[in-house]
């Protein structure tokens, strides 16, 4: 299949930081917001073409610059909230243990692991976006200019459970197929041209988000 990518250049205080491309289709089919960051590619590392025969439609809802800056702010907020939830949960659990109140050891361990997973994904997304935009805190976003370019297309296919591009195995997409049910459904549907279910998948993606 041929996936649309939006090309964009990042500048900070007028100085160029690099040219990137973001998947403009599957970015709308992810269970968790932080995973959007991993769909941004260094434009020089992937094969992108100007023409496509049966390309998937671009679904990116907002301009790239607005999308990336909003995502950075959201992940920053979510990362702080996830950390607070985890700390508060462990504090309450320790108090209950000291008081000898049975609360279910395995249940608390499972919840802590889930909160830790969310915190890790947010941290990873923030790190990736920070590297692309050249920022370390929200106040620096005002210095960043994102110049949106043309829509190009990347060829992807599935083989033995791995997603392949013309460059070889794409580990990001391959991992998303394994861990993200919304992405997996959208990817397989697109691969087999079942475009009629896209609206339903989109609603499911929003429910997960």
Which has more confidence, 6 or 81? 6
- The verdict on 60 and 150 lying in the same domain is yes
The pTM assigned to this predicted structure is: 0.77
Q: pLDDT band for position 43 (50/70/90)? A: very high
Instruction: Answer whether residue 16 shows pLDDT above 60.
Output: yes
- Going by their DSSP bridges, the two strands 144-159 and 40-42 should be labelled as unpaired
Instruction: Answer whether residue 31 shows pLDDT above 80.
Output: yes
Final residue belonging to a domain, choices 80, 112, 140:
140
- The verdict on 56 and 75 lying in the same domain is no
Which has more confidence, 93 or 8? 8
Final residue belonging to a domain, choices 106, 140, 174:
140
- The verdict on 170 and 186 lying in the same domain is yes
Q: How far apart are CA 184 and CA 192, in angstroms?
A: 12
Number of domains in the chain: 2
24, two tokens: 């403009």
For helices 171-179 and 181-191, give the axis angle rounded to 10 degrees. Answer: 110
- The model's pLDDT over 115-173, given as tens digits with 9 standing for 90+, comes to 667 778 888 899 999 999 999 999 999 999 999 999 999 999 999 889 999 999 999 99
CA neighbor of 130 nearest in space, from 21, 50, 12:
12
Q: How far apart are CA 47 and CA 155, in angstroms?
A: 8
Which has more confidence, 50 or 208? 50
**pLDDT, mean of residues 180-206:** 71
State which residues form the domain around 163. 2-64+146-208
Sign of the Cα torsion 50, 196, 163, 180 reads positive
Final residue belonging to a domain, choices 120, 140, 160:
140
- The verdict on 134 and 185 lying in the same domain is no
- The verdict on 130 and 154 lying in the same domain is no
Which has more confidence, 111 or 143? 143
- The verdict on 151 and 55 lying in the same domain is yes
- The verdict on 55 and 154 lying in the same domain is yes
Instruction: Answer whether residue 82 shows pLDDT above 90.
Output: no
Q: pLDDT band for position 100 (50/70/90)? A: low
Instruction: Answer whether residue 77 shows pLDDT above 90.
Output: no
Q: How far apart are CA 193 and CA 204, in angstroms?
A: 19
- The verdict on 135 and 158 lying in the same domain is no
- The verdict on 154 and 112 lying in the same domain is no
Q: How far apart are CA 140 and CA 30, in angstroms?
A: 27
Q: Which residue has the tokens 């805190």?
A: 137
- The verdict on 59 and 152 lying in the same domain is yes
- The verdict on 124 and 160 lying in the same domain is no
CA 48 to chain centre: 20
CA neighbor of 64 nearest in space, from 189, 180, 149:
149
**pLDDT, mean of residues 63-69:** 96
pLDDT at res. 167? 94
Q: How far apart are CA 207 and CA 209, in angstroms?
A: 6
Which has more confidence, 96 or 35? 35
Q: pLDDT band for position 194 (50/70/90)? A: very low
CA neighbor of 29 nearest in space, from 191, 192, 187:
187
Name every residue whose Cβ is closer than 8 Å to that of residue 117 and which is 6 or more positions away in sequence.
none
Instruction: Answer whether residue 197 shows pLDDT above 50.
Output: no
- The verdict on 164 and 188 lying in the same domain is yes
What integer best gives the mean pLDDT of the chain?
A: 84
């Amino acid at each position: 299949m041929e996936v649309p990518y939006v090309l964009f250049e990042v500048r900070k205080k007028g100085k160029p930081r690099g040219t990137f491309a973001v998947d403009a289709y599957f970015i709308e089919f992810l269970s968790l917001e932080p995973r959007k960051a991993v769909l941004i590619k260094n434009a020089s590392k992937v094969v992108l073409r100007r023409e496509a025969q049966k390309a998937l439609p671009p679904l990116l809802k907002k301009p790239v610059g607005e999308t990336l800056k909003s995502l950075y702010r959201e992940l920053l907020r979510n990362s702080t909230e996830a950390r607070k939830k985890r700390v508060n949960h462990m504090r309450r659990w320790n108090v209950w243990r000291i008081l000898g109140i049975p609360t279910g050891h395995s249940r608390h361990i499972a919840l802590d692991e889930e909160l830790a997973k969310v915190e890790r994904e947010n941290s990873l997304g923030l790190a990736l976006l920070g590297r692309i935009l050249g920022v370390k805190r929200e106040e620096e976003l005002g210095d960043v200019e994102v110049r949106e370019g043309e829509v190009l297309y990347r060829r992807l296919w599935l083989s033995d459970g791995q997603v392949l591009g013309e460059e070889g195995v794409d580990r990001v997409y391959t991992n998303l197929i394994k861990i993200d049910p919304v992405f997996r459904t959208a990817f397989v549907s697109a691969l087999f041209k079942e475009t009629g279910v896209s609206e339903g998948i989109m609603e499911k993606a929003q429910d997960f988000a």
